């Protein structure tokens, strides 16, 4: 199993963080789009590493268009010498329309078309295929030599893999149909993954005439652990609040309903409009916490992650506090990678 870590979006630290992750033994590193751009840190990470895979988990797709994403993906793939994975997500309507001031409509079909458009643009640049993409949401029909990157940029590497994050079945099917991998949302349980996510991915693969072979699933990553009791308590409190935050989103209600906790979503959504985040976290019981997260001492992490996901995922994104006890955490990472 590949084990990935995270890189922050502080540009002054990104290169050093990536170098440290590579030296520690991580397979890859992902950035998230929160308060800063997710792509810039990966440029620095690529400069300071040799083998570490690099990706976005996630970049907000609908805040951009296929051409800009194609350009960014091409350049990062070339600079990293084939180590870049383009991880996309839709975000939710209020963020797209109110934060990014972009159009929102039919998210799953739009995402499918966006990814197909990116692939059409890459095909033009890589193989000289005339650009003639015409869809319901995106149209790309103009490409001149002046705007075409050098084909030699990706010689021996090929275009980046595209990963898609999702929770709902429609978006998950899209990932199976047109992507190379799937980023499980943190708000995913083993039961939901097995009963909803994987069947939806398989349906998407079948639409494309493909099997699940070679398709990478990056597993859920909620882990509550630490070297001391205080660290454990702090990790549990933070994770409860994160679960509550995700649980307040109507689009993610289905995950709670699989476990019979649908009514919790109503209460979390009501509280989210008032802002008492600590109180929301208190609604996440021990049972709920342990369903979403692996909870235990560091030595418990690898066996439990293998038990839950070992037969269905290829890699997991997991950031360990290895600085506090390097020898202990190295053993955890080695145990995860051994499967």
- Residue 322 is predicted with a pLDDT of 52
Domain residue spans in the chain?
Answer: 2-236+298-338, 237-295
CA atoms within 13 A on the CB side of 82: 7
- Round to whole Å and give the CA distance between 280 and 299: 30
Identity of the highest mean pLDDT range in 49-58, 233-242, 304-313, 318-327? 49-58
Judged on CB neighbours under 10 Å (0-12, 13-18, 19+), 179 is buried
CA 29 – CA 54 distance, rounded (Å): 5
In this predicted model, what pLDDT tens digit does every residue of 27-66 receive, in sequence order? 999 999 999 999 999 999 999 999 999 999 999 999 999 9
**In this predicted structure, what is the pLDDT of residue 330?**
79
pLDDT band at 226; cut points 50, 70, 90:
confident
Task: Decide which of 3.40.50.150, 3.20.20.30, 3.40.190.10, 3.20.20.70 is the CATH code for 2-236+298-338.
Answer: 3.20.20.30
Return d(Cα 200, Cα 158) in angstroms, integer.
28
pLDDT of 326 strictly over 80? no
pLDDT digits (tens, 9 = 90+) for 112-156: 999 999 999 999 999 999 999 999 999 999 999 999 999 999 989
Note the pLDDT of residue 253.
94
Pairing of strands 216-219, 315-317: parallel
Overall average pLDDT of the 304-325 stretch: 80
Q: Which pLDDT belongs to residue 116?
A: 98
Average pLDDT score, the chain: 93
pTM (predicted TM-score): 0.93
Least confident window among 13-22, 70-79, 102-111, 217-226: 217-226
Question: 289 pLDDT exceeds 90?
Answer: yes
Q: Provide mean pLDDT across the span 180-203.
A: 96
Confidence of residue 221 (pLDDT cuts 50, 70, 90): confident
């Amino acid at each position: 199993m590949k084990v990935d870590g995270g890189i922050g979006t502080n540009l002054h630290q990104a290169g050093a963080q990536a170098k440290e992750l590579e030296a520690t033994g991580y397979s890859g590193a992902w950035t998230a789009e929160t308060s800063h751009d997710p792509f810039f840190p990966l440029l620095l990470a690529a400069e300071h590493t040799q083998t570490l895979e690099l990706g976005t988990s996630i970049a907000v797709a609908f805040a951009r268009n296929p051409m800009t994403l194609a350009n960014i993906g091409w350049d990062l793939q070339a600079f990293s010498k084939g180590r870049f994975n383009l991880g996309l997500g839709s975000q939710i309507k209020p963020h797209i329309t109110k934060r990014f001031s972009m159009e929102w409509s039919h998210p799953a079909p739009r995402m499918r078309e966006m990814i197909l458009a990116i692939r059409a643009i890459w095909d033009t640049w890589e193989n000289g295929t005339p650009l003639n993409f015409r869809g319901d949401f995106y149209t790309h029909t103009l490409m001149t030599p002046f705007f075409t990157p050098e084909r030699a940029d990706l010689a021996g590497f090929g275009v980046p893999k595209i990963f898609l994050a999702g929770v709902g079945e429609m978006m998950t099917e899209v990932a199976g149909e047109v992507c190379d991998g799937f980023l499980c949302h943190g708000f995913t349980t083993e039961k939901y993954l097995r009963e909803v996510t994987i069947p939806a991915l398989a349906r998407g693969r079948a639409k494309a005439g493909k099997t699940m072979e070679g398709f990478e699933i990056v597993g859920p990553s909620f882990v509550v652990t630490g070297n001391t009791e205080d660290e454990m308590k702090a990790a549990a409190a933070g994770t409860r609040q994160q679960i509550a935050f995700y649980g307040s989103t109507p689009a993610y209600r289905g995950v709670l309903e699989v476990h019979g906790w649908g009514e919790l979503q109503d209460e979390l959504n009501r509280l989210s409009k008032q802002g008492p985040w600590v109180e929301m976290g208190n609604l996440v019981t021990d049972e709920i916490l342990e369903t979403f997260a692996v909870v235990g001492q560091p030595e418990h992490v690898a066996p439990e992650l293998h038990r839950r996901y070992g037969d269905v995922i290829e890699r997991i994104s997991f950031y360990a506090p290895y600085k506090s006890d390097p020898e202990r955490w190295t053993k955890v990472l080695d145990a995860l990678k051994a499967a």
